[in-house]
């Protein structure tokens, strides 16, 4: 019989056991291919969108950057309408149209509810023009005909139940205005979740740009036969400098780049988790093949006795691995497509609409998935395969039964200890690092080494830890517990590998929860120490605060003061002529009370005086700047100012680290009013004893502006906690994948152990062990293995988390907080994982026929 | 067909003194009924229709208390099946089996398991012990499972009887085959079951170790008043019993009181094609 045939028969004979390993391969491959399909689909969606929306050449103002279409002022950079005529006269131009586009708007319905997406996609206000009709079709009602008409996209209308005649209020930096829905448009391509409102051109100009006769872009089409590039050159020649020109391809590239950053983060994060699932899957596969080889020792011995070479035996196991890899990967790629669709649904619910119409499966996806799945499986099966090759022909004659793995202990222990010690040293180095860069390298090294060390040393630790756990957990269950403990200890390598699979996932959970809760604790601590303001007002998406909202807030009763806080782009030149780019914090003198900053020199209050500023201690030491030195500050959209350094703030802590403060009145001297950025956030304090009243008043004042949120200190801390919690939950969700694979590993180990111990189980049943006791014994074994893995994982993870926190202390993560409730929950939860994993193996063991079991080989 | 025979076996080879002591065992039995286990019209059939195979064909049997009973018969005669049914390990197709007053053929798995645990002892041919437990843990296992405390006095006596006092902390893989079977005997005795079933308990042992184990079984009947039923195809092993039942084709065809190895061997030769079934039969017969 050929090697392939033997392997195939073996593979089919062990379908059940292979199935669990195949699921592990499947999950990992599914994650990889799902990620690829998802990102490819996103790319397709955006490519199609850019392809229909872009004109041959787009003319924009010089300092409007496409990537950030909402400038700090909240008002888009504009071009005079006369430019359109100028462009039309250029050579090669078929047609040119002015367009008004603003992303700095919020649209609310009659109940003051934001109808736009609150994350991801933007809200876009545009003028109704021929260019828009390339991507949409008016399917209901009529186009906007006057200042009270607005047309809305179908997706938004459906989501919020809006219909013709409903009122929409658009909040722009230039003011609020209300219009009634006159029509609804359908997108011809997939609209990835943006809310789009259309106004007639005059209304759009007046309300979005402040006055008529302005456009934000000129969209140009070439006469047939003229390339976009040639047209661009011609228009440049006709218009001269001062404009930014982009061909359709360039516009699409810029748009794609904008999206790519977000996509890449997602892609790498998900591939990271896929890698983790693979890592855990490897343990499962190694364990499965080890057990299959052990069970088949006699059979392999016989093959060797009748003349199979080592190589042939070795190869037959590897061929089985290839089969497993292929089966798992093929199913994985298919599951990956399903996963991608699921992800798209998830993104839709989060406001990023994606359509299965654009589902893109490139040929590379199945190839990568299959290659990865097969290679990893075969690599994982290599060690067991080699062990199979080493089985001597004598094994055929010996009694069946699993060979014990006694030796290796000392070598293993030495290697494991060395790795763990080296890893621990690296972690300590990381914790003590004075600089973040090298520190994080040490941290990474420490994590990898300690993980490897624990994996190697796991089987040796199994003895002590299982016994200790047994003393606590199993004693209650008497002889059944004792037998469970002995069984778990019977093959420490197997218990170690099974536990290690669970360990990896839980170590990451523990370390991230330590970092997460330290983050919250540190931020809370810092808020308590430094923030004096009672309230903070900001938008959830980082949108600046429109003046009308600010005015409403300032009129609110019970307030002691309101402090504006703006960021201004500028270049700063030190006395020696060295120039750096910086965001200056332009605020009001009351800010000194709202945020307590330590100074190393000077007085911070004086920095708010005319012609004065402050710098951070890092900048000061780097540039040799002292109090009294004069810096040259060139404001974006304004003039150059010479400002005297009045204070140097200590660069410790998280808030406003390295900020250079100036007074808003100082800013106003050098920057024209329409170029002054909007406030990024507002801080406010109540008059003594009126905190509750003021808080409610601020909330009421903000009711028409749902994009902003006011929080008092307590709520703010809570929100911070929730934000971190949400982020952690997403990560935990993804880590659950690794844990699922680890559970499969526990199931597999137990199932195979039960098969191996068939005779023993028969004997125990014969001498009076009840089904219930038998099932309990197997469940307890499972629980002990799971708790063993959890203990190692949580211990390791807390070590990692602590080292990471000590390292991040450099970045202001000063407080270490171990989230004991989470850690304990995970530990107890892993006991349930063990119970769950034992369900099927225990059930099958209980169902065994006593006589057959005793008689089995 | 057979009836209980309570009078213990006298005379024989080296255990004359022990024999007289077994009168005490008989005395214990006098407290209850003389018959500890009964089978009535027990049928065990596998398959149905043309493929139906009858392993036990309306068997009636009484096992006397405080006696050592051997069940013999050629391969496929149903001797193991009979023992498994008597012991509550296997179910019967029809008929009734009683252990004292309990009809075990009616019991569900849970009760049956309890019955095996509390009232029956087992000695199998091989693989009698859990490899993870040491000798004493294996011996007390049925009682541990039941959550009962072993009677320390009795346990010591059992352990002394089988001569294992210095091996109690050893794992099975540190014991010889004979020692392992002695641990199994001790386990069966320790819980003071009403009846012990042995399924070829010496089948895997050399003749010396076999004789040792059989000696202990004999002693436990004589000195401890234990009831033992043993399936064997070894005439020498059967000669340790008080009574031998012969099975052929699922029926009890004969029985013999106070057997000797030669008498058993002669009787076996009468079975059609039923001569020494196993290769080691002769060797064992001769060396004893």
- Residue ranges per structural domain of chain A: 1-54+249-403, 63-240, 458-534+712-857, 544-706
- Least CB–CB distance from B116: residue in A479, A486, A768: A768
Does the pLDDT at position B2 exceed 50? no
A690 neighbors A494 (Cβ within 8 angstroms): no
Complete DSSP assignment for A343-355: HHHHHHHTT----
Does the beta-carbon distance from B141 to A759 stay under 8 Å? no
**CA of B262, closest CA in chain A: separation in Å?**
31
B132, B137, B142 member nearest A768 (Cβ): B142
In whole angstroms, give the CA distance from residue A107 to residue A123: 8
The stretch A769-774 carries a mean pLDDT of: 90
Indicate the average pLDDT of chain B: 79
Q: What is the dihedral of CA B163, B169, B172, B177, to 10 degrees?
A: -20
pLDDT tens digits, one per residue of A816-848: 999 999 999 999 999 999 999 999 899 988 888
Write the residue in A766, A770, A851 that is nearest to B110 by C-beta.
Answer: A770
Q: B95 to each of B59, B104, B229, B231, how far by Cα in Å?
A: 9, 11, 20, 21
Which ranges of chain B does DSSP label H, i.e. alpha helix? 16-31, 79-86, 109-119, 135-146, 152-162, 177-190, 207-224, 235-238, 261-269, 280-287
Show which residues on chain B lie within 8 Å of chain A, measured between beta carbons.
84, 89-90, 109-110, 113-114, 116-118, 120-122, 124, 127-133, 137, 141-142, 144-147, 187
Contacts of B195 in chain A (CB under 8 A): none
Rounded to whole angstroms, the maximal C-alpha distance in chain B is 56
Is it the case that residue B19 has pLDDT exceeding 50?
no
Give the per-residue pLDDT at A201: 92
Q: Using the beta-carbon criterion (under 8 Å), do A487 and B114 form an inter-chain contact?
A: no
Residues in chain A: 857
Exposed (0-12), middle (13-18) or buried (19+): which is B57, by Cβ within 10 Å?
A: middle
How high is the pLDDT of residue A408?
A: 58
Instruction: Decide if pLDDT at A66 tops 90.
Output: no
Residue A140 phi/psi, 5° resolution? -135, 140
Q: What mean pLDDT is predicted for residues A221-237?
A: 88
Strand partners, B20: none
Mean pLDDT of B88-107: 89
pTM above 0.90, yes or no: no
Distance from CA of B120 to the nearest CA of A (A): 8
Q: Closest approach of chain B CAs to the CA of A759, in angstroms? A: 8
**Pairing label, strands B68-72, B243-248:** parallel
Of the pLDDT bands very low, low, confident and very high (cuts 50, 70, 90), residue B33 is low
Over the stretch B76-86, which tens digit does the pLDDT of each residue have? 888 888 998 99
The string of DSSP codes covering B99-117 is: ETTEEGGG--HHHHHHHHH
Is the pLDDT confidence value at A154 over 50?
yes
| CA-CA-CA-CA torsion sign (B151, B155, B157, B161) | positive
Cβ neighbours around B273 below 10 Å, total:
7
Indicate the range of A70-84, A683-697, A761-775, B61-75 predicted with least confidence. Answer: A70-84
Instruction: Compute the average pLDDT of residues A549-553.
Output: 90
Residue in B87, B145, B191 to test binding to A, most A beta-carbons within 10 Å: B145
Question: What is the rounded average pLDDT of the residues B21-38?
Answer: 53
Among B176, B147, B183, B143, residue whose Cα is nearest residue B162: B183
CATH of domain B16-287: 3.40.50.300
User: Chain A to chain B, count of Cβ pairs less than 8 Å apart?
Assistant: 69
Residue in B116, B140, B148, B193 to test binding to A, most A beta-carbons within 10 Å: B116
CB contact (8 A) between residue A769 and residue B144: no
Give the pairing of strands A535-539 and A681-686.
antiparallel
**Region A364-380 average pLDDT:** 92
The model's pLDDT over A313-339, given as tens digits with 9 standing for 90+, comes to 888 888 889 999 999 999 999 999 998
Flag whether pLDDT at B276 surpasses 70.
Answer: no
**A719 burial level (CB within 10 Å; 0-12, 13-18, 19+):** middle
Strands (E), A90-135: 93-99, 101-102, 106-109, 123-127
Mean pLDDT of B98-105: 89
On the question of pLDDT at A252 being above 50, the answer is yes
B240: helix, strand or coil = coil
CA distance A627 to B154: 96
What residue in A sits closest to B114 (Cα-Cα)? A768
Exposed, middle or buried: residue A581 (CB in 10 Å: 0-12, 13-18, 19+)? exposed
Best-predicted range by mean pLDDT (A329-338, A383-392, A673-682, A760-769): A329-338
What is the pLDDT at residue A613? 93
Residues counted in chain B:
288
A820 exposed, middle or buried (CB, 10 Å; 0-12, 13-18, 19+)? exposed
- Residue A310: phi and psi, rounded to 5, are -55, -45
The confidence score (pLDDT) of residue B283 equals 35
A759–B127 C-beta distance less than 8 A: yes
**Closest chain B CA to residue A489:** B132
Distances A32 to A267, A276, A329, A376 between C-alpha atoms, Å: 9, 11, 10, 13
Q: What angle do CA A808, A809, A813 make, to 5 degrees?
A: 80
Question: Which residues are CB-contacts of B38 (< 8 A; sequence separation ≥ 6)?
Answer: B61, B62, B63, B96, B97, B98
Reference A791, options A597, A506, A550; nearest CA is A506
State the pLDDT confidence band at A288, using cuts at 50, 70 and 90. Answer: confident
CB A566 within 8 A of CB A710: no
Burial B181-191 (b: 16+ CB within 10 A, else e): bbbbbbbbbbb
Residue A711 phi, psi (nearest 5): -135, 140
Residue found by looking up tokens 């059609």 in the block: B272
Q: Which residue of B has its CA nearest to A770?
A: B113
Give the mean model confidence (pLDDT) for residues B84-113.
88
SS3 assignment for A202-223: HHHHHHHHCCCCEECEEEEEEC
* Residue B122 to residue A243: CA distance in whole angstroms: 98
Does the structure show a pLDDT above 90 at A374? yes
**Cβ proximity of A252 and A53 under 8 Å:** no
Give the pLDDT of residue A660: 92
pLDDT in the model for residue B26:
38
Nearest beta carbon to residue A760 from set B116, B130, B146: B130
Mutation test of the interface with chain A: which of B85, B119, B131, choosing the one with the most A Cβ atoms within 10 A? Answer: B131
- The confidence band for A2, taking pLDDT boundaries of 50, 70 and 90, is low
pLDDT confidence bin for B28, thresholds 50/70/90: very low
Residues in Cβ contact with A485 at an 8 Å cutoff, skipping those fewer than 6 apart? A466, A467, A470, A474, A780, A781, A784
Which chain B residues are Cβ-neighbours of A490 within 8 angstroms?
131-132
pLDDT at A795 (0 to 100): 94
Stated as kind and residue range, the H or E segment containing A426 is: helix A409-432
A511, A405, A495: which is closest to A455 by C-alpha?
A: A495
| % of chain A at pLDDT higher than 90 | 28
Confidence grade of residue A446 (pLDDT, cut at 50, 70, 90)? very high
State residue B262's pLDDT score. 86
What backbone phi and psi angles, to 5 degrees, belong to A752? -70, -35
| CB-based contact A483 B90, cutoff 8 Å | no
Longest CA pairwise span in chain A (Å): 102
* Average pLDDT of every residue of chain A: 86
CA distance A653 to A641: 29
Residue of A nearest to B134 (CA): A486
Contacts of B114 in chain A (CB under 8 A): 768, 770
In whole angstroms, give the CA distance from residue A811 to residue A299.
Answer: 61
- What are the beta bridge partners of residue B180? none
Q: Does residue B5 surpass a pLDDT of 50?
A: no
Are the Cβ atoms of A854 and B133 closer than 8 angstroms?
Answer: no
Residues of A near B (CB-CB distance < 8 A)? 478-480, 482-483, 486-487, 489-490, 759-760, 763-773, 850-851, 854
Cβ burial of A164 (10 Å; 0-12, 13-18, 19+) is middle
A478 contacts in chain B (CB < 8 Å): 144, 147
What is the mean predicted confidence (pLDDT) over B264-288? Answer: 54
The span from the CA of B81 to the CA of B92, in Å, is 9
Please answer yes or no on whether B109 and A771 come within 8 Å at the CB atom. Answer: yes
> Which tokens hold the place of A434?
């004075």
A55: left (phi over 0), alpha (psi -120 to 50) or beta: beta
Q: What is the dihedral of CA A237, A242, A247, A253, to 10 degrees?
A: 150
Residues of B in contact with A483 (CB under 8 A): 130, 132-133
Q: Do B132 and A483 touch (CB under 8 A)?
A: yes
Nearest by CB to residue B117, choosing from A489, A767, A854, is A767
For residue A528, give the nearest of A801, A815, A773, A152 by alpha carbon: A815
pLDDT tier at A396 (50, 70, 90 boundaries)?
low
Confidence of residue A69 (pLDDT cuts 50, 70, 90): low
Nearest residue of A to residue B111, measured between CA atoms: A770
pLDDT band at residue A249, thresholds of 50, 70 and 90? confident
Q: Tell me the CB-side half-sphere exposure of residue B51, using CA atoms within 13 A.
A: 3
Let me know: does A663 contact A538? Beta carbons within 8 Å: no
Q: Which of A346-360, A723-737, A793-807, B185-199 has the lowest mean pLDDT?
A: A346-360
In this prediction the ipTM stands at 0.78
How does residue A398 score in pLDDT terms, banded at 50, 70 and 90? low
């Amino acid at each position: 019989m050929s090697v392939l045939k033997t392997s195939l028969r073996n593979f089919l004979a062990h379908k059940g056991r292979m199935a669990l390993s195949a699921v592990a391969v499947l999950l990992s491959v599914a994650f990889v291919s799902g990620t690829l399909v998802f990102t490819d689909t996103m790319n397709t969606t955006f490519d199609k969108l850019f392809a229909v929306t872009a004109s041959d050449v787009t003319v924009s103002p010089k300092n409007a950057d496409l990537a950030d279409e909402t400038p700090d002022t909240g008002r888009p950079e504009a071009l005079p309408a006369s430019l359109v005529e100028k462009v039309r006269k250029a050579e090669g131009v078929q047609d040119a149209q002015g367009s008004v586009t603003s992303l700095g708007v919020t649209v609310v319905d009659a109940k003051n509810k934001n109808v736009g997406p609150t994350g991801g996609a933007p809200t876009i206000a545009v003028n109704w023009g021929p260019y828009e009709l390339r991507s949409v079709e008016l399917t209901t009602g009529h186009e906007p005909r006057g200042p009270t008409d607005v047309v809305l996209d179908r997706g938004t209308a459906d989501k919020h139940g809006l219909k013709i005649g409903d009122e929409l209020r658009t909040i722009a930096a230039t003011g609020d205005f209300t219009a009634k829905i006159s029509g609804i448009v359908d997108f011809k391509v997939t609209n990835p979740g943006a809310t789009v409102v259309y106004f007639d051109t005059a209304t759009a100009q007046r309300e979005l740009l402040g006055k008529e006769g302005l456009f934000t872009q000129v969209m140009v089409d070439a006469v047939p036969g003229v390339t976009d590039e040639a047209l661009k050159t011609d228009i440049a020649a006709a218009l001269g400098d001062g404009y930014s020109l982009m061909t359709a391809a360039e516009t699409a590239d810029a748009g794609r780049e904008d999206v790519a950053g977000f996509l890449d983060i997602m892609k790498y994060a998900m591939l990271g988790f896929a890698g983790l699932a693979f890592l855990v899957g490897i343990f499962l596969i190694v364990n499965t093949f080890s057990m299959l080889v052990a069970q088949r020792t006699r059979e392999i011995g016989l093959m060797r006795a009748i003349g199979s070479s080592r190589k042939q035996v070795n190869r037959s196991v590897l061929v089985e691995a290839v089969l497993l890899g292929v089966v798992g990967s093929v199913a994985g790629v298919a599951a990956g497509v399903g996963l991608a669709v699921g992800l798209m649904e998830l993104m839709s619910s989060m406001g990023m609409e994606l359509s299965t119409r654009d589902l893109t499966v490139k040929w590379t996806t199945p190839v990568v998935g299959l290659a990865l799945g097969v290679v990893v499986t075969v690599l994982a099966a290599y060690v067991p395969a080699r062990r199979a090759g080493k089985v001597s022909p004598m094994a055929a004659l010996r009694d069946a039964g699993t060979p014990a793995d006694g030796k290796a202990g000392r070598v293993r222990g030495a290697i494991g200890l060395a790795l763990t010690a080296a890893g621990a040293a690296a972690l300590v180095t990381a914790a003590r690092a004075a600089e973040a860069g090298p520190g994080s390298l040490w941290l990474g090294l420490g994590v990898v080494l300690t993980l490897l060390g624990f994996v190697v040393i796991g089987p040796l630790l199994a003895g002590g830890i299982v016994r200790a756990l047994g003393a606590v957990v199993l004693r209650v269950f008497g002889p059944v517990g004792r037998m469970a403990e002995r069984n778990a200890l019977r093959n420490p390598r197997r218990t170690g590998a099974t536990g290690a699979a669970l360990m990896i996932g839980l170590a990451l959970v523990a370390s991230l929860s330590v970092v997460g809760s330290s983050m919250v604790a540190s931020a809370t601590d810092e808020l308590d120490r430094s923030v004096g303001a009672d309230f903070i007002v900001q938008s959830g998406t980082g949108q600046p605060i429109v003046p009308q909202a600010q005015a409403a807030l300032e009129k609110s009763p019970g307030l002691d003061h309101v402090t504006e806080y703006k960021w201004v782009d500028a270049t700063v030149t030190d006395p020696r002529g060295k120039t750096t780019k910086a965001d200056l914090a332009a605020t009001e003198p009351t800010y000194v009370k709202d945020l307590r900053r330590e100074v190393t020199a000077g007085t911070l209050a004086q920095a708010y005086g005319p012609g004065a500023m402050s710098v951070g201690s890092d900048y000061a030491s780097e540039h040799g700047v002292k109090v009294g030195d004069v810096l040259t500050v060139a404001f974006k959209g304004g003039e150059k100012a010479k400002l005297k350094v009045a204070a140097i703030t200590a660069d410790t802590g998280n808030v406003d680290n390295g900020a250079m403060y100036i007074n808003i009145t100082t800013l106003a001297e050098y920057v024209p009013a329409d170029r002054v950025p909007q406030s990024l956030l507002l801080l406010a304090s109540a008059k003594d004893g009126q905190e509750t009243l003021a808080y409610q008043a601020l909330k009421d004042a903000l009711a028409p502006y749902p994009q902003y949120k006011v929080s008092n200190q307590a709520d703010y801390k809570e929100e911070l906690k929730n934000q971190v919690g949400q982020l952690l939950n997403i990560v935990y969700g993804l880590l659950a994948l690794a844990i699922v694979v680890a559970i499969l590993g526990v199931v597999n180990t137990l199932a195979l152990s039960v098969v191996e111990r068939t005779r023993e189980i028969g004997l125990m049943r014969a001498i009076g062990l009840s089904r219930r006791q038998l099932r309990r014994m197997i469940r307890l074994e499972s629980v002990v293995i799971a708790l063993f893995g959890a203990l190692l994982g949580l211990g390791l993870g807390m070590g990692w988390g602590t080292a990471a926190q000590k390292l991040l202390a450099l970045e202001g993560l000063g407080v270490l907080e171990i989230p004991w409730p989470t850690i304990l929950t995970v530990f107890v939860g892993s006991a349930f994982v063990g119970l769950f994993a034992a369900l099927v193996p225990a059930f099958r063991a209980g169902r065994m026929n006593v006589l057959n079991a005793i008689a089995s080989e | 067909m057979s009836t209980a025979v309570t009078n213990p076996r006298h005379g024989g080879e080296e255990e004359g003194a022990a024999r007289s002591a077994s009168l005490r065992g008989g005395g214990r039995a006098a407290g209850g009924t003389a018959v500890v286990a009964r089978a009535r019209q027990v049928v065990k059939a596998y398959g149905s229709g043309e493929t139906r195979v009858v392993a036990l064909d309306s068997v009636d049997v009484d096992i006397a208390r405080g006696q050592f009973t051997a069940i013999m018969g050629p391969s496929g005669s149903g001797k193991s099946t009979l023992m498994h049914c008597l012991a509550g390990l296997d179910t019967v197709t029809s008929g009734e089996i009683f252990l004292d007053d309990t009809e075990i053929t009616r019991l569900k798995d849970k009760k049956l398991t309890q019955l095996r645990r509390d009232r029956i002892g087992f000695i199998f041919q091989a693989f009698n012990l859990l490899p993870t437990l040491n000798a004493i843990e294996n011996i007390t296992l049925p009682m541990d499972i039941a959550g009962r405390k072993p009677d320390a006095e009795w346990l010591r006596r059992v352990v002394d009887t089988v001569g294992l006092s210095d091996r109690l902390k050893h794992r099975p893989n540190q014991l010889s085959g004979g020692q392992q079977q002695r641990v199994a005997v001790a386990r069966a005795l320790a819980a003071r079951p009403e009846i012990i079933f042995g399924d070829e308990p010496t089948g895997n042992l050399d003749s010396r170790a076999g004789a040792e184990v059989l000696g202990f079984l004999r002693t436990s009947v004589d000195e401890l008043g234990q009831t033992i039923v043993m399936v064997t195809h070894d005439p020498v092993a059967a000669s340790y019993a008080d009574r031998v039942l012969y099975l052929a084709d699922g029926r009890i065809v004969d029985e013999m009181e106070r057997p000797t190895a030669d008498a058993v061997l002669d009787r076996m030769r009468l079975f059609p094609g039923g001569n020494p079934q196993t290769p080691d039969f002769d060797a064992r017969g001769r060396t004893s």
